[in-house]
Amino acid sequence: MPIGSFLANIFNKGGGGIIESIGNVADKFITTSAERQEFNLKVQMEVNKHIELMAEHANKSVELYLKDVADARAMQMAALTQTDTFSKRFIYFFALGIVVMAFSFDFILCFQQIPTKNETIINVVVGTINGTALVSVVSFFFGSSRGSEDKNKTISELSKKE
Does residue 39 fall inside a structural domain?
no
Distance CA 92, CA 94 (A): 5
Upper half-sphere CA count for residue 90 (Cβ side, 13 Å): 13
65 part of a folded domain: no
Structural domain boundaries enclosing 101: 84-162
Angle (CA) 129-78-97 rounded to 5° is: 25
Summarize pLDDT for 24-55 with one digit per residue, the tens.
777 777 778 888 888 878 878 888 888 888 88
Overall pTM surpassing 0.75 (yes/no): no
Domains in the chain: how many in total? 1
User: Does position 73 have pLDDT exceeding 90, yes or no?
Assistant: no
Q: Residue range 94-119: average pLDDT?
A: 90
